[in-house]
Structure formats: C-alpha cells, structure tokens
Amino acid sequence: MSKTPAQRIRKHGSKASVPQHQLPPVITPTPGNPSKKTQSNGNVILIAGVAASLFLFWYLHLLTLNQMTQLSGGLAMPDSLMGGFSVDYVGELRARMNEDALGQLSYIHKTAGTLFPIIFGFSWLLLIGVNVANRVLRGLLWALLLLFIIIRLSANVAVDTALAAQSLEPGTVVLASALTVAGWVLLLLSVVAGGAAVVLRRWARRQGRRP
C-alpha cells in the first residue's frame, strides 16, 4: 500500500520524494463569444418580430379591413380612418352593416387587431432596447410603445361598443374616434422613433461612441 506524502516526509525527512501534483489549467471563457451569440440571437428575434409586425399590418389594414368595405357598401372601417370619424359616419355604417358583418369586424379586432399592436409593440421595445443606451431616453420610448398597445387595444373595444350599441351614443363614438386617432399617432411616432434609434446608433458607431 503506497504511503501518503505526509507519511513519507515523517519517515525520510527532507530526503523524501514527494510527487508533484498539478492542477488542471484554468480555462478562462472568452467574453466575446457569448456576447456575440447573445447578440446574434437577439437580432434573429428582432428581425422575426419586425417581419411579423409588417405582415400583420398588411393583413389587418390593407387586406382584411379593406375587404370589409364589401359588407358596408364601400364605407371604410373606423380603424382605417386616421383622421377619426363623426357620429353621423358611425350611424350610416351601422345602417349598412348587418349583425353578421359587425360580428366579423369584432372577430378581426379580437384576432389580428389584437396581435398586431402586441407584436409590434414588443418588437419595437426590443429594437429600442438594443439601439438606445441612454436609460432616460430608452424609458421614455418604452413608455410610448406601451401606451400605443393600451390605446390601440382600447380603440378596438370602443369601436365594437359604438357599432354594437342598441342606440347610437355620441359619447361612445367620440371616445372611439379619439382612441383611433391617438393609436395612429402613436404608431407613427413609434415607427419614427425606432428608425431614428437605428440611424443614431450607426452614426454613434462611426463616431466611436454609443448614443
């Protein structure tokens, strides 16, 4: 049975031969590789989110809501009116659309009308987070996007309520119109903010600093 190094030292003193033990080399992870992989994954998610947002915008506003005009005698759906709509307009729309048509519009609001603001909002949250380093500016832009999601979803409910009410209520119509206009304004501001963030980050890289 082999003796331990301590037993050899006690027996032979300083002449004891003690085998040298070497620890395995410490492997220092390269910080560049994980960050590049994380950044690559973030870019893939961001690209997918932007593509999904563009598709849903096309599907909702340029395809589905446009096709709904066939059920309203050519009148545009309230969601497509960036400048808002009047009480008389909603009254005429209610007169031209039957219960089935109103049900289809409500279904659109619950599906594509819900998915678009949510997917767009969170995609732009990621876009802003990646490209804007300033915490205050990033927080303000994130608040803008969250407000867009809330306003846009609220506009869907308000439009359905105004069209499905037993009697035409001016207050409900005014609220639905205001929310619709606010949703379009916030959407345009969010698109401009996202584009500006990307441009400013590229400019900052050329200048050798982050925005």
Q: Look up residue 167 and give its DSSP letter.
A: S
Each as own residue / partner, the long-range contacts of residues 66-72 (CB below 8 Å, 24 or more positions apart, any chain) are: 68/101, 68/104, 68/105, 68/108, 71/97, 71/98, 71/101, 71/104, 72/96, 72/97, 72/101
pLDDT in tens, 59-69: 999 999 999 99
Burial of 14 (0-12, 13-18, 19+ CB in 10 A): exposed
**What's the rounded Cα separation, in Å, for the pair 154 and 86?**
18
Residues 83-90 have a mean pLDDT of 96
Please state the pTM of the whole predicted model.
0.78
Which amino acid is present at 188? L
Distance of CA 13 to the CA centre of its chain: 73
**% of the chain at pLDDT higher than 90:** 66
Distance CA 101, CA 108 (A): 11
Domain boundaries, the chain: 50-207
The span from the CA of 151 to the CA of 189, in Å, is 14
Residue 29 has pLDDT above 80, yes or no: no
Residue scoring higher pLDDT (206 or 25): 206
pLDDT of the residue at 39? 62
Q: Do the beta carbons of residue 180 and residue 159 sit within 8 Å? A: yes
**What are the structure tokens assigned to 105, written together?**
């519009």
